[in-house]
Structure 1
Amino acid sequence: MSLLICLVGLLLTSSAVSTPVSDKPTLIRSVPAHAASFKGGVSSTGWIDFNFADGRSILVPAKVNGQSVWVKLIDGDETSYIDKDFAASIGFQPPTATKTFGDVNVQVQLGDLTLRRVKTSTADLGAKRTDPLFAPFILSDDLFNQVVVDIDFAHHRVAFQDPHGAIKLPSGAVEIPLIRYLDARTVPISVEGAAPVPFEWFLGDPAPITVYQPYYETHKLLQNRPTSIRLGGGLNGQRPQEPVATLSRVQFAGVSFNQVPSVFPSNTVRGSDSPLVSGNIGLELLARFRLIVDYPHDRLYAVPNTDTESVPFAKDRLGLYLSKQGSTFVVDFVSPGSPAQTAGFKTGERIAMIDQKAGPAWTQAELTNLRFATKETTIVFTMESGGIRQVKAKDYF
């Protein structure tokens, strides 16, 4: 899946992922990346603690051209991304009509692992140095295609290993077929008890499961079940409206998961171009395993985390998409049939306070998480006009 298409949940911390992008970012450089190198002759970084960013992205401490920052790890794209403002701050001049960045040497260090001349493009990632976790860089396949990645979600740690060495597998590891279809690495997924089909493997999608239009129409997955619409996300403000519904059963790596909130994008916003791919599996479901991925050899091993197998998935129970403008909030979208719609919210309305807190007291991530409140949570909105609206969180799809 193209990272341009699926930057979604990371840029806007929404649960959406597949977003078309018509204006491609400016390429910083096109020279090939050097091979990954490990300091001092070691073959692994050992464990590096990561921040799981509310379960929607993997943030790892790193150095980008010597600057200490957090980087987001997303596989599935040959290009990595750097925030345009951060790029300018470290000496990359913005492009003009006649000049692009050209051959810029972007170097990324992850512990004892160094990646030189990483293929990178600029984008508006919205990263601010005042953010609690300043993450102005998204690192993709210049990393993944050169190493074995061991992701221990239960302990929020990751290790990178030289793929030429032996892989020491943890007890209980099961090998899962990791098969390439054109631009996509896929794994077998069973939906509603049907035979397993290829779903794209994608660490950049926070939604548990995304089902592509040919498959969900053939299997009538949106019939006879509650549905709604969510606002997706992506680069440059492009945010498609996508159907959402809850699947009763999804099976991966021999483990069945119940009541899985899922996204059903149209063909125009889907990820993989292959007609053989039926959807993609996202981070919230993958995080219920320890995953050892040998990307250079297309091998995947999974160990179920028994503590999370039966934990309910995060689910939008509000249906209200907000952004901050100064000290107030603006309603960007209201999901049909949601508690927010029932309470009378409309696109374009302004909110002065949420639970007695004005705009400066909220981060964009906190606004996103507001939608995923537990059942029966009451949220109080003070409208700019002075009115009060109370909304009780509940399932609506």
Structure 2
Amino acid sequence: MKCALIAIALLITLDVQAGDYIQLAAKINGHEVNLAYDTGCEAFVLFESTVREIGIKWDEPKPTVAFHPGKVNLGYTEQVNLEIVGLSLKGRCRVLDPPLSDDLKIDGLIPWSFFREGILYFNSHEYGMDGLNELPDDIADWKAFRLKKSVPLLVFEIDAADGSTIDVMIDTGADIGVALPRNKFADWRKNHPESPAAVNDGHTAYSGRNVDEICWAEQISVGDLTISGVPVGPLYRGLEYNSELYDIVLGLYAISRMELIVDYPNGTLYIKPNPRPPREYVHNRLGAVFVSSNSDAGDLIAHVIKDSAAYEAGVRNGDVLVKVDGVGIEDGNSASGISTLSQFWSKPHGTKLNLELRRGDKPFEVSVILQDILPPKKGSRVDPRISSTQIY
């Protein structure tokens, strides 16, 4: 089997803040590599650091090539030999230099198309994937949906109550929950003002920095698909650029709340609920982000959620972050700076952090005890309207 992967621009949905992937051991030209199976990616991708380490020749992308927003301009390698799950493939692959590639603990991405010709079972709670020879005996008890086979990503269709069709993408390259179009999320948030909310600060290869509010839904429904215990937020801006391919995105956390079988030859995706309680959701437990008004550098200015750990410690909108536990952040707008700060804010519940800040010309310090926000603690005040929400 050969795969000629030579196009220059493609959709990449890898969230560099995410720490969990469906990982597959493989070999490239005899060298062991660790690849993530990313159903939100169009083609086989190796990271530039891996290409250089293995010694693969590659052509850098031409800077004059025009490509659509939401896609990444990539180079491609000479022909390589790929060995993965018993398959031997020859072909070119694309080369990406993602922010924080050394922190991702993976060497590249395997696209949805590589394994779609069979029957796949996603045990997403354990980040596993298996091939099936046949459908399970209880498949009649699973909900069945049509696959959208005309697109290069894992997308299925749901019939809405008004007769329209909602296209839903499964994205195993991002550890997110349910991502809605920004106007839909704004409507949802307006109708659920008491929903617990954290703030997400991430960086993607295709759209740069994204700072968004992330909320929690005890139950959310799209057509006749219902997901329980899941974070809800807006689509990353880069994902919105490709809205002609899908309406909603379900990330790894969302599909960890279900069992999933994809029968591509017969054009059907099957889902049944995962009865286990939600796993830990890694999120910003500080309840604040610090963003420079200058896209390149400058003071890191606080944006604080009311009643959060940061707010209770005395941090207010407009305060400037200087150090965290004695560590200065030289460029908090860069991918590495965002990652450094996010690693502080996502430390476990109860972690104590010392923040050095400045308000106007006056320096001051506060101690913050990080608090779980998502999912809400049992017994906490939760808007009863988040117990059941119909989106479409």
1:152 matched to 2:123: yes
CA drift of 1:315 comes to 4.8
User: Which of structure 1's runs of 4+ aligned residues deviate more than 6 A?
Assistant: 97-100, 330-333, 364-367
Map of 1:393 onto structure 2:
371
Residues 108 and 151 (structure 1 numbering): CA distance in 2 closer, same or farther, change over 3 Å? farther
For residues 189 and 340 of structure 1, the distance between their equivalents in structure 2, rounded to whole angstroms, comes to: 42
8 Å CA contact 1:7–1:204 kept in 2: the answer is: yes
1:86 matched to 2:93: no
The one-letter code of the counterpart of 1:179 is: L
Q: 2:169 aligns with which of 174, 196, 200?
A: 200
Aligned-residue CA RMSD (Å):
4.4
Instruction: State the SS of the aligned residue for 2:209.
Output: coil
For residues 238 and 98 of structure 2, the distance between their equivalents in structure 1, rounded to whole angstroms, comes to: 23
Map of 2:13 onto structure 1:
6
CA drift of 1:284 comes to 0.4
Superposition TM-score, scaled by structure 2 size: 0.65
Mapping 1:166-177, distance limit 5 Å: 166-169=133-136, 171=138, 174-177=142-145
Residues 86 and 334 (structure 1 numbering): CA distance in 2 closer, same or farther, change over 3 Å? farther
Q: 1:298 aligns with which of 267, 270, 279?
A: 267
Residues 286 and 96 (structure 1 numbering): CA distance in 2 closer, same or farther, change over 3 Å? closer
Instruction: State the SS of the aligned residue for 2:114.
Output: helix
Residues 366 and 242 (structure 1 numbering): CA distance in 2 closer, same or farther, change over 3 Å? closer
CA drift of 1:392 comes to 3.7
For residues 290 and 83 of structure 2, the distance between their equivalents in structure 1, rounded to whole angstroms, comes to: 35
CA drift of 1:119 comes to 3.8
Instruction: State the SS of the aligned residue for 2:52.
Output: helix
For residues 106 and 125 of structure 1, the distance between their equivalents in structure 2, rounded to whole angstroms, comes to: 24
Map of 2:208 onto structure 1:
238
Deviations 1:260-281 (A, max 9, x none): 3211247665163228x43211
8 Å CA contact 1:249–1:256 kept in 2: the answer is: yes
8 Å CA contact 1:150–1:293 kept in 2: the answer is: yes
Instruction: State the SS of the aligned residue for 2:304.
Output: coil
Deviations 1:31-72 (A, max 9, x none): xxxxxxxxxxxxxxxxxxxxxx5xx32222222232112111
Residues 318 and 106 (structure 1 numbering): CA distance in 2 closer, same or farther, change over 3 Å? farther
Deviations 1:92-144 (A, max 9, x none): 3464687996662233322323333154232235333xx6x841111113413
1:124 matched to 2:91: no
CA drift of 1:334 comes to 4.8
Superposition TM-score, scaled by structure 1 size: 0.65
Map of 1:257 onto structure 2:
228
1:215 matched to 2:206: no
Instruction: State the SS of the aligned residue for 2:367.
Output: strand
CA drift of 1:171 comes to 3.9
The one-letter code of the counterpart of 1:167 is: E
Mapping 1:1-397, distance limit 5 Å: 4-8=11-15, 11-13=16-18, 53=19, 56-93=20-57, 95=59, 104-117=78-91, 119-124=93-98, 126-128=100-102, 134-154=105-125, 156-160=127-131, 166-169=133-136, 171=138, 174-180=142-148, 183=151, 185-188=155-158, 197-216=166-185, 220-224=187-191, 225-226=193-194, 229-235=199-205, 238-251=208-221, 255-258=226-229, 260-265=230-235, 269-270=239-240, 272-274=242-244, 277-308=246-277, 315-320=283-288, 334-337=302-305, 338-340=308-310, 343-344=314-315, 346=319, 349-353=322-326, 368=342, 371-372=345-346, 377-381=350-354, 383=356, 387=365, 389-395=367-373
8 Å CA contact 2:27–2:84 kept in 1: the answer is: yes
8 Å CA contact 1:148–1:294 kept in 2: the answer is: yes
For residues 333 and 58 of structure 1, the distance between their equivalents in structure 2, rounded to whole angstroms, comes to: 36
Instruction: State the SS of the aligned residue for 1:239.
Output: strand
Aligned length: 324
Deviations 1:358-383 (A, max 9, x none): xxxxxx989646545666x2422264
Deviations 1:274-318 (A, max 9, x none): 28x43211110201333222335432223433223x667555432
For residues 144 and 331 of structure 1, the distance between their equivalents in structure 2, rounded to whole angstroms, comes to: 46
Residues 147 and 212 (structure 1 numbering): CA distance in 2 closer, same or farther, change over 3 Å? same
For residues 302 and 160 of structure 2, the distance between their equivalents in structure 1, rounded to whole angstroms, comes to: 31
8 Å CA contact 1:212–1:264 kept in 2: the answer is: yes
- Bigger share in strand: 2
For residues 103 and 94 of structure 1, the distance between their equivalents in structure 2, rounded to whole angstroms, comes to: 4
Any unmatched runs of 5+ in structure 2? 1-8, 64-73, 292-297, 328-337, 358-362, 377-392
The one-letter code of the counterpart of 2:201 is: L
Instruction: State the SS of the aligned residue for 2:49.
Output: helix
Deviations 1:188-221 (A, max 9, x none): 3989xxx99432222222111000134345xx21
Instruction: State the SS of the aligned residue for 1:207.
Output: coil
Any unmatched runs of 5+ in structure 1? 14-52, 324-329, 355-363
The one-letter code of the counterpart of 2:78 is: V
